[in-house]
């Protein structure tokens, strides 16, 4: 059944070829010797009155030539015996015993039949060509519909699968020669879709677990910090107070890391919300002061304006930036402000080594830590600048890192109200 149409096309073409050659070759001509002899005898007997030929042979065109080859019947014909022969006429010698009287020329039936056969053959060849062309066109249409188009659809389907489109099924037709392949391709799509769905669900559960653990760790860390505050008030021993201070610093580092992990997990889950309100620019001074745990920040004058921020999230951003500067540079920090278009420009500059130029575009990637930072042995998660950059984007602002002589500058573009 799959190849039935192809066999039909070939059978029809062969049958037409056979039929055409049978029709063109079945007719054969048998010369009329009696008619030829009758014409020659009539001319010999009536050389002086050749008009009788018209009466006796009304259906035959006859030319009569004298012994020199000039036409003598019908009168006025400007043709010679040689011309007649060249035209394909049959020439009949007219003799009286051994004496040559002239010749009679009649159309050669075999030549006429040859011309007719040639015409029939030409027509047959044209018909055969049309039949073959029609069969070729029909065969091409069949091949295109049942072979080429299904292959093209499978190729396009594979391209969509490679691009991650697992929702569009592969169309199947009953007459498709590759139905089994088509069905297998679509089963593969369904399995890939199910596998991707399972993988996505596992990743979501993993992020939820990280978020839950990060949230749960905040409670004991807060408890440790509270105990340290109480001990600072109650204990007078300098040695013990030094140990308590060390514990408190480690607890603060743990709290910052846990906050970063929680924020990153919420971002992956699409649940890191930002609620912006109009705030006075003076709130930035309070945030910088709270983040300046070593009292090394030199802050410039803040222009009086309203900024559109989430105060809690901007506190997290500034805290990460100043904390990174203290951790990796350990130098005084200059904070400058200026208004630039629709933004309040806040620049935080330390006086350390800066960042290699080929890493400037990478330090805001998730979990990225530069080679110099890794070699320094300083602990870190590589999430601080990533989270700060994401939060600034969610507040319709921007975070830009650049090297300046004698340190790294992190610029915050904070949207004005």
372 or 101: which leads in pLDDT? 101
Buried b (16+ CB within 10 A) or exposed e, 44-54: eeeeeebeebe
Which residues, other chains included, contact 198 with Cβ-Cβ below 8 Å and sequence gap of 6+?
A: none
Query: Are the beta carbons of 410 and 348 closer than 8 angstroms?
Result: yes
Give domain status of residue 162, yes or no: no
- Identify the domain boundary among 222, 241, 267: 267
Pairing of strands 333-340, 297-299: parallel
Going across the sheet that includes 398-404, the strands are 297-299, 333-340, 343-349, 407-415, 398-404
H helix or E strand, kind and range, residue 184: helix 179-234
143 and 237 in one domain? no
319 and 389 in one domain? yes
* Residue 78 DSSP code: -
185 or 319: which leads in pLDDT? 319
What are the DSSP calls for 309-347, one per residue?
Answer: E-HHHHHHHHHHHHHHHHHHT-S-EEEEEEEETTEEEEE
CATH of the domain at 351: 3.30.565.10
Which residues, other chains included, contact 333 with Cβ-Cβ below 8 Å and sequence gap of 6+?
A: 292, 296, 297, 298, 322, 325, 326, 348, 349, 350
Give domain status of residue 203, yes or no: no
Give domain status of residue 89, yes or no: yes
Q: At 190, is the pLDDT very low, low, confident or very high (cuts 50, 70, 90)?
A: confident
Token pair listed for 216: 């749960």
Low-confidence winner among 42-46, 202-206, 329-333 (lowest mean pLDDT): 202-206
- Give Cα 76 to chain centroid, integer Å: 82
Which of 72-76, 89-93, 296-300 has the highest average model confidence (pLDDT)? 296-300
Query: Model confidence over 105-155: pLDDT tens digits?
Result: 888 766 666 667 777 888 888 888 888 888 888 888 888 877 777 778 777
Token pair listed for 370: 């530069």
282 and 402 in one domain? yes
93 and 153 in one domain? no
384 and 362 in one domain? yes
Task: For the full predicted model, state whether its pTM sits above 0.85.
Answer: no
* Residue 105 DSSP code: E
Determine the structural domain holding residue 240 and report its residue range: 210-267
The total number of structural domains in the chain stands at 4
338 and 296 in one domain? yes
Low-confidence winner among 21-30, 160-169, 348-357, 387-396 (lowest mean pLDDT): 21-30
39 and 21 in one domain? no
Tokens 């295109």 belong to residue: 144
Give domain status of residue 224, yes or no: yes
Query: Model confidence over 246-277: pLDDT tens digits?
Result: 887 777 777 777 766 666 666 665 556 788 99
Q: At 326, is the pLDDT very low, low, confident or very high (cuts 50, 70, 90)?
A: confident
406 and 333 in one domain? yes
279 and 251 in one domain? no
Residue in 399, 407, 401 with CA at minimum distance from that of residue 331: 407
Other Cβ atoms closer than 10 A to 341: 8
Give domain status of residue 189, yes or no: no
Give domain status of residue 198, yes or no: no
pLDDT number for residue 26: 47
145 and 85 in one domain? no
176 pLDDT more than 90: no
C-alpha–C-alpha distance, residues 89 and 79, integer Å:
12
234 and 372 in one domain? no
Query: Are the beta carbons of 361 and 414 closer than 8 angstroms?
Result: no
Q: At 415, is the pLDDT very low, low, confident or very high (cuts 50, 70, 90)?
A: very high
C-alpha–C-alpha distance, residues 164 and 331, integer Å:
48
Query: Model confidence over 356-402: pLDDT tens digits?
Result: 887 887 887 776 766 666 656 566 566 778 878 888 998 999 999 88
Query: Model confidence over 271-313: pLDDT tens digits?
Result: 567 889 999 999 999 999 888 888 889 999 999 999 999 888 8
Token pair listed for 201: 């669900």
pLDDT number for residue 84: 84
CA 244, 248, 253, 255 dihedral sign is positive
83 and 125 in one domain? no
């Amino acid at each position: 059944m799959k190849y039935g149409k192809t066999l039909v096309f070939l059978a029809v073409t062969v049958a037409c070829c056979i039929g055409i050659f049978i029709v063109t070759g079945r007719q054969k001509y048998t010369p009329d010797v009696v008619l030829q002899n009758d014409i020659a005898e009539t001319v010999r007997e009536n050389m002086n009155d050749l008009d009788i030929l018209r009466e006796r042979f009304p259906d035959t065109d006859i030319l009569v030539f004298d012994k020199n080859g000039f036409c003598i019947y019908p009168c006025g014909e400007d043709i010679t015996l040689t011309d007649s022969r060249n035209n394909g006429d049959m020439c009949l010698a007219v003799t009286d015993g051994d004496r040559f009287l002239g010749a009679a020329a009649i159309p050669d039936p075999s030549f006429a039949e040859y011309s007719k056969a040639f015409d029939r053959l030409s027509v047959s060849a044209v018909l055969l060509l049309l039949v073959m062309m029609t069969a070729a066109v029909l065969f091409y249409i069949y091949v295109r519909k049942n072979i080429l188009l299904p292959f093209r659809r499978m190729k396009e389907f594979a391209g969509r699968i490679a691009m991650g489109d697992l929702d569009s099924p592969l169309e199947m037709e009953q007459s498709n020669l590759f139905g089994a392949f088509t069905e297998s391709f679509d089963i593969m799509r369904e399995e890939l879709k199910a596998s991707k769905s399972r993988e996505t669900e596992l990743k979501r559960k993993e992020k939820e677990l990280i978020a839950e653990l990060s949230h749960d760790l905040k409670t004991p860390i807060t408890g440790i910090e509270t105990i340290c505050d109480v001990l600072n008030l109650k204990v007078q021993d300098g040695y013990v107070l030094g140990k308590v201070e060390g514990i408190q610093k480690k607890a603060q580092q743990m709290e910052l890391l846990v906050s970063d992990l929680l924020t990153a997990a919420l971002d992956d889950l699409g649940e890191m919300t930002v609620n912006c309100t109009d705030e006075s620019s003076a709130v930035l001074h309070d945030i910088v002061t709270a983040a300046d745990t070593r009292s090394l920040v030199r802050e410039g004058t803040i222009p009086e304006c309203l900024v559109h921020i989430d105060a809690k999230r901007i506190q997290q951003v500034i805290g990460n930036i100043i904390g990174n500067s203290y951790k990796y540079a350990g130098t005084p920090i200059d904070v400058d402000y200026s208004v630039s278009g629709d933004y309040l420009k806040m620049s935080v500059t330390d006086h350390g080594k800066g960042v290699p130029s080929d890493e400037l575009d990478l330090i805001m990637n998730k979990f990225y830590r530069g080679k110099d930072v890794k070699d320094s042995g300083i602990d870190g998660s590589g999430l601080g600048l990533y989270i700060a950059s994401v939060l600034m984007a969610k507040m319709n602002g921007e975070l830009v890192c650049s090297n300046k002589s004698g340190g790294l500058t992190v610029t915050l573009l904070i949207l004005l109200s």
